[in-house]
Amino acid sequence: MTAEVLVCPLCGEANGCSYAAGRPHSECWCNQAVFPKGVFDPIPAEQRRKSCICEACLDTYKKKAEQNKEPHS
């Protein structure tokens, strides 16, 4: 296993992936997370499914998506 699997492909920081770190997948933060449609779109195709995004990038995506839903005055 290479160190890249422990890095978020969006921000380059640690992704906190328990499975990639050698622990059971059941311990990973992503088991309780909801990944909205489109969250992986910014990842270049050749990098998809190579490493997990981090919780911070998931939260940022969700916040931006929610802001885009709000009506503008």
Alpha-carbon separation of residue 28 from 7, 52, 70, 72 (angstroms)? 14, 11, 31, 37
- The per-residue pLDDT for 11 is 95
- The per-residue pLDDT for 33 is 94
Query: pTM for the complete prediction?
Result: 0.82
pLDDT exceeds cutoff 60 at 73: no
CB of 61 closer than 8 Å to CB of 36 = yes
7-64 residue pLDDT tens: 999 999 999 999 888 999 889 999 999 999 999 999 988 888 888 999 999 999 999 9
Residue range of the domain that includes 41: 3-69
pLDDT exceeds cutoff 70 at 72: no
Number of domains in the chain: 1
**pLDDT: is 60 or 69 the higher one?**
60
